[in-house]
Amino acid sequence: MANPFDELRDWIDESESKLRSRRDSSVVALMYEGFRQVASVLDSGYVSSPIGSMSFKTAASLNVVAGGTPVGTVTDIQTLQDGNEYNLPEAAATPGYDLEINFTGVTRIDGVVVASRYTGSAAHTSDFRLYNYDNTTDDVFFLTPTASANNYRTVIIPNGASYFDGSGNAQATFYHTSGGVPSHDLYIDYIALLSWDV
């Protein structure tokens, strides 16, 4: 029987080749690093089951709790680098924005993949969160840095069971903690929950 870790490495190498055929080499490097992080987790022995393929669950709906007038719809964040983005300006209020991204039909979460950028002030704090159904709180996973180009993040979640409920619902949030400036914007190209098919 083939070693599942060797099969994963073969898949990573094949994926790198496919990614390198894309125009943006920075995307390739960052997404490839995400794949390498996954392999590192597997090598640590944390996952003992043979790995099949990865599945990506995209958002079902968006809810602007706070923020300016958005441009776009949920379909704009369901495909990576298709030329469509969802844009949420900050509001002149506190918080500057609070955007809930809702997922349905979730049966497993092993990570999250995000492509976004924040064109505000480096002095402002914007973060990405997942709702923890066990603790009934939002857990901050990373800060959203100020950038003129998309930041690509692949975050591995060792125990994702806390981040979806018994009905298969999950919720991510982009949250701007301080007062907003209407000329500052959040752009989202893609977000998906990652799961291993084991």
Per-domain residue ranges of the chain: 1-52, 54-196
pLDDT along the chain (198 residues), means of 10: 53 56 51 59 50 84 97 96 95 96 96 93 89 96 86 90 96 95 95 87
What pLDDT shows up at residue 195? 92
β partners of residue 115: 152, 190
What pLDDT shows up at residue 112? 95
Residue 17 host element (H or E): helix 4-20
What's the rounded Cα separation, in Å, for the pair 66 and 70?
A: 10
What pLDDT shows up at residue 147? 84
Superfamily the domain 54-196 falls into: Galactose-binding domain-like (2.60.120.260)
* Cβ-contact 179, 94 below 8 angstroms: yes
What pLDDT shows up at residue 49? 46
3-state secondary structure at position 150 = coil
Measured CA distances, 32 to 11, 74, 77, 117, 139 (Å): 11, 26, 21, 19, 26
What's the rounded Cα separation, in Å, for the pair 101 and 103?
A: 7
